[in-house]
Each structure stands twice: as C-alpha cells, then as structure tokens.
Amino acid sequence: MFELVDKKVVMDVRELVAKGEHPRREILNFIKAAPVGTIFEIHLPHRGEPLIANLQSFGMNVIVNEIEPMHFRLMAVKLDEF
C-alpha cells in the first residue's frame, strides 16, 4: 500500500477515506515497521486529529498544513524505535 523511497514515504489516503475506508491501522503499522529516520508525508481529506494523536504518542512531532479545502498534509519523522 505504501512505499519507502530514499527514507521518505508519501501516503495519500484521500481516496480511501472518501470511499469510507479508515486506513489508520495500516498507516500506524507501516510507521512502526519503518526504519528510524524515515520521513512521512500523509495526505488526508480532513485534519486527522486521531492520527495526529497516535503519532504524537509515538514521540513524533507532526506538522499539519492545509493544502486546499479537503486536502491536509501531515509531516513527521520517526526519531526512535517504538
């Protein structure tokens, strides 16, 4: 579902969420398995507060940008194993 390229993963789940899917578990499992130093760019149709809270609980700082209406980008870096 997601691909790691040069220590960066872009996860655009807007279409999945629009279809009624909730890929939070898949996102979190991928982040847990990724190596330390990986940069995550996650695109959502909404701010994604529950996902932000999960990432913060892993000790990750999350930067949120609203790109346009119904398009939010979360940026975070995995700094430690968890």
Cβ 51 vs Cβ 24: under 8 Å:
yes
User: Using 50, 70 and 90 to split pLDDT, how confident is the model at 70?
Assistant: very high
Cβ 73 vs Cβ 43: under 8 Å:
yes
Exposure of 13 by Cβ count < 10 A (0-12 exposed, 13-18 middle, 19+ buried)?
buried
User: Using 50, 70 and 90 to split pLDDT, how confident is the model at 1?
Assistant: confident
What's domain 4-77's architecture? 2-Layer Sandwich (3.30)
pLDDT by residue (tens digit) across 24-58? 999 999 999 999 999 999 999 999 999 999 999 99
In whole angstroms, give the CA distance from residue 35 to residue 21: 26
